[in-house]
Amino acid sequence: KGKREKIMKKVSVIIPCYNAEEYLSACLESLLRQTIGLDNLDIICVDDASTDHTGRLLDAIAQQYPDSIRVFHLPQNCRQGGARNVGLEHATGEYVAFLDADDWVDVSAYQKLYELAQQYDTDIIQYPMTKYYEGVVQAEDPAQIKGLIVLTDQQMRKLFLAGQALTCGSQTKFYNRSFLEEVQVRFVEGCAYEEPSFVYPLLFYAKRVYCTEEPLYYYRMHEASTMHQYVRQPGKLYDHA
């Protein structure tokens, strides 16, 4: 399922989905309402061997929007990293973004990010997130450098790597797909702290990075999330290293 002729879209949005039936509609609604237009989005939903109705819900919405939404069903659970890797294999957009199934984005997110990427010819754009927990919202922006960063020599690269421009989070970034293909980076699979394995290597190769101040990503915190359950288990913090 999901096979069809590749059509270049402006943005591929990759969504790993595992037992996300409770939150999936809000996530997908934020994509259907994007001001960039649904026709410009390549939405790739990867059902990570869910045991609830997630797969059925994904198939139903993909049937409604077959030109913009594709669904891939994994036979066994690969965690977020493995699911995102599958999405990367099928991405066709000029740019790539990751979105978790229990989160959502601002309705203007991908139009603004696409325009910034075109204006500054970026490899990566980073944007802040807003955390949502039990009805309380809190903006979070750990990056201390704003605007365009152009890395032209080794000394600038050293300062960039040692500074606090980009975080290790994968979802609050907008990637040039050609850049990702050039670097050939992928997520580590089977653990919770999979994001640094994808983001850190990119920092050694990116030449043009932009950090925007506008929070465009909404991160839902709840007791069933990976960060609340998996990482509480003994020894799981070592996955980050």
- Per-residue confidence band for 226, with pLDDT thresholds at 50, 70 and 90: low
The predicted pLDDT at position 174 comes to 98
- Per-residue confidence band for 215, with pLDDT thresholds at 50, 70 and 90: very high
Average pLDDT over residues 200-211: 96
Distance (Å) of CA 114 to CA 93, 100, 103: 11, 20, 20
pLDDT higher than 90, residue 230:
no
Q: Mean pLDDT over all residues of the chain? A: 90
Q: What is the DSSP string of 52-93?
A: SSHHHHHHHHHHHSTTTEEEEE-SS--HHHHHHHHHHHH--S
135: alpha, beta or left? (left if phi > 0; alpha if psi -120 to 50): left
The predicted pLDDT at position 6 comes to 55
The predicted pLDDT at position 137 comes to 66
The predicted pLDDT at position 4 comes to 46
